[in-house]
Structure 1
Amino acid sequence: MTGELKAAISSDEAIQNVWPLVGLAGYRGSVAHGTAGDIIDDVDIGGVFIPPKSHYFGLTRLNHVERIGVAGKYDFALFEIKKYFRLLLKSNPNVLSLLWLPQNLYIVQSDWGKQLLENRSLFMSKHLYKSFGGYAYGQLRRMTHSCTNQAFQGKKRRERFERFGYDCKNAAHLIRLLRMGIESLVTGEINVARHDAKQLKEIKAGEWTLGQVETEAERLQKLLDEAFVKSALPPKPDYKKAEMLL
């Protein structure tokens, strides 16, 4: 862990209080995908923690700790372990990705965190089709409509939308999610670190036209449909084994 990250954790009371309980944590988003710019001013960190007994037997609840812009740079999303398992069993792409990071992107790996990684295949199923496809569809809608909500986007992003005619960041997410969905259904693994990072960065920079993005998305959607039909993954995650692991 870098000194800068340690300082960021110490600067936020909620993160500082829960961090000793975290058993698995790592980098998410553009840092994990390899699509961040030369100057990284937005770092996403995801993690899982086991709360104290008071969470289960007392009045205090600690399900999810989320902090945006900690130390002006870090965005944290830390999940209580039961909530995390529920999201895993729904094949949520954002939480699944934490189990498939390259080793150098993990910040915390406790014994039980390593056990989670060793059993990550329990959560791989054909549900991935709906989750990755659904998230991709959300990006598709926002790609051409997000900047109609002026409060949602920053000034620079709105300017880029007006310049290129679509939201380039949403477009890059769209293509990435479809490709990751196809790969996961075919291989049973999630490729978080993107081999196509250079191309995704080009899309993010507006180097593709809207027509090119839409054509590629249509092609990938067909491949996703085919991958779902042919996938050797089970129809749904193994809930019983997941509960035993928990």
Structure 2
Amino acid sequence: MSYTIQELQPHTIYQVVTGSQSYGLATPHSDIDQKAIVILPLQQLFTLNKEWETQTFHQPDIEFHSLKKAMNLFLAQNPTMLELLFVPEEMIIKQTTQGEILRKHRQLFLSKKCYYSFAGYAKDQLTRIKSGLEKTNETASRFTTDNVKKRLETCLSNQAKGFTIKNIYLTQNGIPGVELSVSTNQITLSQLHKITTSLSNLLRANTNKQKAKMPPSKLSKHAMHLFRLLHMAIELLETGELIVNREKDKEFLLAIKNGEFRWEELFVKADRLMQRLEMSKTTSRLQETPPTEEINRLYQQLMTRE
């Protein structure tokens, strides 16, 4: 069973802006992501169809969850869901009485289990980064050690004299380039255009497969979220508060996103934060696990409240 935004919106009890906007890390090019929690009417709940849980839309980018699905994700300490209850109030788009009650009881969901979920997400980001860097290095190595240069020289010798290939290379974004030295005094623009076009086409033909294996150009964004997650988890375990807006470390996080740190330096910092996270789990005063029975009563209260 699926619904349209127009069908879900009237039954939404809580809707907020999430992602970079709620973190305070948005740029002029950042998307505006939203998440919402829905309680469908009884006649739509009591059917033989498979229970509706989640639906995602684009333009606008909004993700709807049933109340049961959302609360189960809160219980599991899912970072991208748990933060819904802790976004700054100015990020709240819609909040009914039921949504207000849910947010009021948000502390119920916080526990030491957050160590495993937040650390897990952070480690996933770290794995993506290291895997991406390995693929980048491997691709660059293959590009510079194969016989691409010979192919380019053959192409060049068939079209012009006085041109020599000095170097071929890949930029950090995986774009192929070639350095030429010219010892001829006369060449028309049309001839020059023909030569450069032929070389460019040949370069692309020889690097398409490698480029397809290149990691996303967002490794620095993964790194920013790695550190954001680690900072949030440590704060949560040490203070009992989940701080979504990252004003306190915004400058540092954006510097990571902008590529202002060497990877080796970031890996050292990440390792230190992982160690601190482990220590924070040991000393945290948070409850070991969320009180399931109390949360079940809250769910029943919200579902039966008009």
Q: Shorter chain as normaliser: what TM range?
A: 0.7 to 0.9
Q: Aligned residue pairs: how many?
A: 222
Correspondence for 1:153: none
TM-fit CA distance, 1:39: 3.2
Rounded Cα–Cα distance in structure 2 between residues aligned with 1:55 and 1:63? 12
Match of 1:145, as an amino acid? S
Q: Deviations over 1:54-95 (max 9, x none)?
A: 34311343211112x31xxx3211110001111111000111
The percentage of aligned residue pairs carrying the same residue is 33
Match of 2:116 among 126, 130, 136: 130
Long gaps (5+) in structure 2:
137-171, 176-210, 300-306
Correspondence for 1:16: 6
Task: State how 1:156-235 maps to structure 2 within 5 Å.
Answer: 167-194=219-246, 195-235=248-288
Correspondence for 2:66: 80
1:32/1:166 Cα in 2 relative to 1: closer, same or farther (>3 Å)?
closer
Correspondence for 1:36: 26
TM-fit CA distance, 1:145: 2.1
Match of 1:59 among 48, 63, 85: 48
SS of the residue 2:4 aligns to: helix
1:119/1:159 Cα in 2 relative to 1: closer, same or farther (>3 Å)?
farther
Q: Deviations over 1:143-197 (max 9, x none)?
A: 1225859xxxxxxx9659979x981010001000011000011111111000211
Rounded Cα–Cα distance in structure 1 between residues aligned with 2:8 and 2:32? 19
SS of the residue 1:20 aligns to: helix
Match of 1:97, as an amino acid? E
* Alignment check: 8 A CA contact 1:126 1:234 kept: yes
Moved over 6 A (4+): 160-163
Match of 2:289 among 232, 236, 240: 236
TM-fit CA distance, 1:14: 1.8
Rounded Cα–Cα distance in structure 1 between residues aligned with 2:220 and 2:266? 9
TM-fit CA distance, 1:52: 1.8
Rounded Cα–Cα distance in structure 1 between residues aligned with 2:132 and 2:37? 30
Long gaps (5+) in structure 1:
1-12, 150-156
1:243/1:43 Cα in 2 relative to 1: closer, same or farther (>3 Å)?
same
Indicate the RMSD between aligned Cα atoms, in angstroms: 2.5
Correspondence for 2:208: none
Rounded Cα–Cα distance in structure 2 between residues aligned with 1:211 and 1:47? 39
* Alignment check: 8 A CA contact 1:122 1:238 kept: yes
Q: Deviations over 1:16-47 (max 9, x none)?
A: 2111111111111101111111333x111011
Rounded Cα–Cα distance in structure 2 between residues aligned with 1:53 and 1:166? 44
Correspondence for 1:9: none
